[in-house]
Amino acid sequence: MTQSHELVVGFDLDMTLVDSRVGIVRCMQHTLGRRGVTVTAEQLWPLVGAPLEDNLGGFLPEDQVQQAADDYRAAYLRLAIEPTTALPGAHDVVRAIHERGGRVMVVSAKNAHAVRVVLEHVGLRPDVVSGDRFAEQKAVTLREHDATMYVGDHAGDMRAARTAEIMGIGVLTGPHDDATLRAAGADEVLEGLPQLVARLDEFGRARQTR
Q: Are residues 27 and 67 in the same domain?
A: yes
What's the pLDDT at 2? 43
What's the pLDDT at 59? 97
The answer to the question of residue 1 being in a domain is no
Residue 30, domain CATH: 1.10.150
The answer to the question of residue 2 being in a domain is no
The answer to the question of residue 3 being in a domain is no
Q: Are residues 71 and 90 in the same domain?
A: no
CA angle 185, 139, 92 (to 5 degrees): 75
Q: Which value, in Å, is the radius of gyration of the alpha carbons in the chain?
A: 17
What's the pLDDT at 210? 55
Q: How far lies 69's CA from each of 62, 64, 169, 178, in Å?
A: 11, 9, 30, 31
What's the pLDDT at 205? 79
Ordered per-residue pLDDT tens for the chain, 210 residues: 444 568 999 999 999 999 999 999 999 999 999 999 999 999 999 999 889 999 999 999 999 999 999 999 999 999 999 999 999 999 999 999 999 999 999 999 999 999 999 999 999 999 999 999 999 999 999 999 999 999 999 999 999 999 999 999 999 999 999 999 999 999 999 999 999 999 999 998 776 655
pTM of whole model > 0.95? Answer: no
Range(s) of the domain holding residue 51: 21-79
Residue ranges of E strands in the chain: 8-11, 18-19, 85-86, 103-107, 128-130, 149-152, 167-171, 188-190
Cβ–Cβ under 8 Å, residues 6 and 146: yes
Q: Are residues 13 and 59 in the same domain?
A: no
Cβ–Cβ under 8 Å, residues 11 and 89: no
The answer to the question of residue 61 being in a domain is yes
Q: 61, 79, 97: which is the final residue of a domain? A: 79
d(CA 195, CA 199): 6
Q: 79, 100, 126: which is the final residue of a domain? A: 79
Q: Are residues 66 and 123 in the same domain?
A: no
Q: Are residues 51 and 148 in the same domain?
A: no
Q: Are residues 191 and 99 in the same domain?
A: yes
Q: How far is C-alpha 54 from the geometric centre of its chain's CA atoms? A: 16
Q: 59, 79, 99: which is the final residue of a domain? A: 79
How many domains are contained in the chain?
A: 2
What's the pLDDT at 1? 40
Q: Are residues 45 and 136 in the same domain?
A: no
- Helix or strand or coil: residue 19? strand
Q: Are residues 63 and 118 in the same domain?
A: no
User: Which burial class, exposed, middle or buried, applies to 98 when counting CB atoms under 10 A from its CB (0-12, 13-18, 19+)?
Assistant: middle
The answer to the question of residue 122 being in a domain is yes
